[in-house]
Amino acid sequence: MKIIFRSIVASMMLLTALAASSSAQNPNVAIKLAAGTGAGEYCVKGSLKNLTPALIAVSYIELWIYDAKTCKRICVTRKVINHKIKSCDTLEFDLCCKNPSPAFVPAIYYVRVHHSSGINEEWAFSG
């Protein structure tokens, strides 16, 4: 009885772990990014494309900037969108984060989009 119970618990834990990791990224919204710097800010221009037959409501977008050499976070910003995207339509966005240091460094741009079907994320790099 003890062996059966342990095997059932172990298999349930495995299924839970697999389900959690598979729901981390959502293929319902495609993200295209172009990263760069300008006017004292790290900026991204991007577009979101709805790949589902249903309407998707985008609530907000986050931008995290990391130093590419040290992997330390430089800045974080968030922009409220509150816009709905029809099936196969595209929503353009731009988002900038103030540069706290006097010089720009090679950076890693991390964008996370929160919408009605879940969360999507995308990375971009600058040299």
Query: What per-residue confidence (pLDDT) applies to 56?
Result: 95
Amino acid letter, 82: N
Give the N- to C-terminal CA distance of the chain in Å, as an integer: 60
**76-119: pLDDT as tens digits:** 999 999 999 999 999 999 999 887 776 788 899 999 999 998 99
Question: What distance in Å separates the CA atoms of residue 24 and residue 31, rounded to the nearest whole number?
Answer: 15
Residues 7 and 55: their CA atoms lie apart, in Å, by 42
State mean pLDDT over 34-47. 87
Task: Tell me the average pLDDT across 50-54.
Answer: 93
Residue with tokens 């293929």: 27
Spatial separation of the C-alpha atoms in residues 4 and 15, rounded to whole Å: 17
Q: Are 97 and 65 in contact (CB under 8 A)?
A: yes
